[in-house]
Chain A
Amino acid sequence: MEMLSGAEMVVRALQDEGVEYIFGYPGGSVLHIYDALFQQDKVSHILVRHEQAATHAADGYARATGKPGVVMVTSGPGATNAITGLATAFMDSIPMIVLSGQVRSDWIGDDAFQETDMIGVSRPVVKHSFMVRDAKDIPEIMKKAFYIATTGRPGPVLIDIPKDQTAPNVKNPYEYPKKVKMRSYAPVSRGHSGQIRKAVEELMKAKRPVIYAGGGVIQGEGSELLTKLAHRLNFPVTNTLMGLGCFPGTDPQNVGMLGMHGTYEANMTMHSSDVILAVGARLDDRVTNNVKKFCPGAKIIHIDIDPATISKNIMAHIPIVGPVHQVLEEMLSALDEHGGEPDQKALERWWEEIEGWRKVHGMRYETNENGPMKPQQVVEALYKATGGDAYVTSDVGQHQMFAAQYYKYDKPRRWINSGGLGTMGFGLPAAMGVQFAFPDATVACVTGEGSIQMNIQELSTCLQYGLPVKIININNQALGMVRQWQDMQYGGRHSQSYMESLPDFVALAEAYGHVGMKVTKFEDLEGAMNEAFALKDRLVFMDIYVDPTEHVYPMQIADGSMRDMWLSKTERT
């Protein structure tokens, strides 16, 4: 058997897992591993400028490809800088492996230089974690880590590796396990057939049905089947923020995103429904509004891989625990067996009602000919310039909601955002990860002047690797979402939501070696966008000035039901 050092084992295991990229930053505790990385060329290491960005880049890579993202950081500050990225991935169930260096085993607990109890610090935000106590265990730990991260409800797994376990002079036999078996971990592989049949009965009886599809459909590779099911039944489909793209955004059956900033028709459809088929969604607080007033007449069929998600916030009438892909497939065949059709007359009436809600045009905004541009116009222009076919990453805030509302995602894995944790600074590094995965694809990062500054240093990484990401900086010179809440709930007192001294983003982009563009007038927008996207091999930073007073609507009214919404600054339901 081949004899390898711990460091060589780590690198070899990454090769054996077929890892293309590892995003990281070197430091004392991981130097042995970096030396092993240097001596091979199968796994490419991407040097970021901050460890948080490494995690988001790996996360973006994972969201765009479905493959796990891999990160390497050193002990202490390197490791703690990865925490936000771990938490982001954990909340959105993204498969990720983080390898963190640790001080030598005999120094652990002595407050050694760059020592942090990373297993302890990361515990609430990982699916699982391992500490390497013996270099011999590295192949098995690596195999288990990838297995756990990518199966069941995916999530990040941390491997903490003390420096002595990677020492180059200590060699152990290496054989990568072909299979992994853990008596304490067996993700569900099938949904309960009886429950699936029961669900089909319920769907057949429904008069006002709705399919509510979340990020789990994308993660569970169920988008095609869900689309087939929805078309077969002619039911309306609404997506969560995480689920956008799992059912085509331009499909007439799509009533749009639901929840806090969902469309009027999506929230009305949900509230008035009699059967909700929730697939890979969590019924979280950004969707339900007040749980006591949630969809009073609806029976809930809830499909999810994670039993703990079912009946956590809202009681499910028919819970189905299983992989979305398998359950939907079985549901389609159960429909065939059943042979019946949904009540067409009732569906016709239901669609008439939905069309009526659509006519309200909840997602409308006023443009002002001589006034400043609207952020919504920017997203619409982006949609047009990219033919609706870009990978769009976003940061967090108003621009995120506009990018979710006004860009129509027809394919899964095209919309990449931090939905659960809401991590500002996610967009640019995530876009890097996507661009590495798909070098020829159009990748746009929709951001704001607040969020972009949280990981702006990555412009340097983009230059090093020639990543032609297009940054759409929707600049309203304010922390827009904070400001919106202050307008609506704090008497317009804009406490700390205005940035007094913004950088000259064009000069900044140029200083980093990229192309900068400033757009202040709507009439210049389309031309500038086309110009930017024509620069195929350059990163373009578009600093686009928009109306600082704009709000995101619709917006659910706190503590109300799903149908209680503000539709503009003055109109409410």
Chain B
Amino acid sequence: MRRIISILMENEPGALSRVIGLFSQRGYNIESLSVAPTEDSTLSRLTLTTFGNDLKIEQITKHLNKLIEVVKLVDLTEGAHIERELMLIKVKATGAQRAEVKRSVDIFRGQIVDVTSTVYTIQLTGASDKLDAFIGAIGETQVLEVVRSGVSGISRGEKVLSL
């Protein structure tokens, strides 16, 4: 099962490599990863997506918690949450395709952020499966380049991951 683990950790050199190292060392898989400092510059927020059954995820979270620089973490998929990913995608836009791509962008509520006579550069945000669906709708043969930010996530309601 796909999980989104969100980690609050010390914003220190070497902290990120410990998190990444843990995954490779113990044979866990990271599907996506995004990290940036928070409003408190001493803390970074790291979100990663991984796959595993309950037992494996329990081990992952226990081992992450053991890392000295990890302050707190939450498995967002355990509760209601909001998941977002940003995608920048370049697609061929010529002939009849040009209008078709534009329509798809509108349907998916994306934005065309750069245009040439043959190419559209599109910005799209949403849950990862929405981004997957957009690529599916455009057709892989039309796609020239894809850049995805990795998942960011936050709990719904009043639940907060902070100190």
Q: Which residues of A contact B (CB under 8 A)?
A: 119-120, 123-124, 127-129, 131, 133, 148, 182-185, 306-308, 311-312
The reply on B107 being an interface residue by CB < 8 A is no
CB-based contact B68/A182 at 8 Å? yes
Contact of B163 among A123, A124, A148, A183 (CB under 8 A): A183
27 contacts between A and B (CB under 8 A): A119-B14, A120-B17, A123-B17, A123-B18, A123-B21, A124-B21, A124-B25, A128-B68, A129-B14, A131-B13, A133-B13, A182-B68, A183-B163, A184-B9, A184-B10, A184-B68, A184-B70, A184-B71, A185-B68, A306-B66, A307-B62, A307-B65, A307-B66, A308-B59, A308-B63, A311-B55, A312-B59
Closest to A125 in B: B25
CB distance from A307 to the nearest CB of B (A): 5
CB distance from A109 to the nearest CB of B (A): 12
The reply on B83 being an interface residue by CB < 8 A is no
Q: CA A112 – CA B86 in complex, angstroms? A: 41
| Contact count band on B | 20 to 34
CB distance from A140 to the nearest CB of B (A): 13
The reply on B58 being an interface residue by CB < 8 A is yes
Q: CA A128 – CA B15 in complex, angstroms? A: 10
Q: CA A108 – CA B159 in complex, angstroms? A: 43
- Chain B hits for A119, CB < 8 A: 14
Contacts beyond the supplied A124-B21, A127-B68, A182-B68: 17 A-B pairs with Cβ under 8 Å = A120-B17, A123-B18, A124-B25, A129-B14, A131-B13, A131-B14, A183-B71, A183-B163, A184-B9, A184-B10, A184-B68, A185-B68, A307-B62, A307-B65, A308-B59, A311-B58, A312-B59
Within 8 A of A (CB), among B32-89: 55, 58-59, 62-63, 65-66, 68-71
CB distance from B41 to the nearest CB of A (A): 15
- Chain A hits for B25, CB < 8 A: 124
Q: CA A148 – CA B68 in complex, angstroms? A: 9
Q: CA A128 – CA B13 in complex, angstroms? A: 13
Closest to B18 in A: A123
Closest to A152 in B: B66
Q: CA A120 – CA B69 in complex, angstroms? A: 16
Q: Which residues of B contact A (CB under 8 A)?
A: 9-10, 13-14, 17-18, 21, 25, 55, 58-59, 62-63, 65-66, 68-71, 163
CB distance from A421 to the nearest CB of B (A): 15
CB-based contact B58/A184 at 8 Å? no
Q: CA A195 – CA B70 in complex, angstroms? A: 27
Q: CA A552 – CA B55 in complex, angstroms? A: 36
Chain A to chain B: the 6 pairs with minimum beta-carbon distance, closest first: A308-B62, A184-B71, A128-B68, A124-B25, A307-B62, A185-B68
CB-based contact A184/B62 at 8 Å? no
- Chain B hits for A183, CB < 8 A: 71, 163
Closest to B72 in A: A184
Q: CA A66 – CA B97 in complex, angstroms? A: 73
CB distance from B10 to the nearest CB of A (A): 6
- Chain B hits for A148, CB < 8 A: 68
Q: CA A129 – CA B14 in complex, angstroms? A: 9
CB distance from A322 to the nearest CB of B (A): 15
Closest to B26 in A: A124
Q: Provided the pairs A308-B63, A311-B58 are in contact, do residues A184 and B69 lie with their beta carbons within 8 angstroms?
A: yes
- Chain A hits for B163, CB < 8 A: 183
- Chain B hits for A124, CB < 8 A: 21, 25
Q: CA A566 – CA B17 in complex, angstroms? A: 45
Q: CA A119 – CA B14 in complex, angstroms? A: 8
Closest to B66 in A: A308
Q: CA A148 – CA B66 in complex, angstroms? A: 11
Closest to B68 in A: A128
- Chain A hits for B55, CB < 8 A: 311
Closest to A321 in B: B62
Closest to B14 in A: A119
Q: CA A561 – CA B138 in complex, angstroms? A: 55
CB distance from B26 to the nearest CB of A (A): 9
Q: CA A185 – CA B12 in complex, angstroms? A: 15
- Chain B hits for A127, CB < 8 A: 68
CB distance from A251 to the nearest CB of B (A): 34
- Chain A hits for B17, CB < 8 A: 120, 123
CB distance from B28 to the nearest CB of A (A): 13
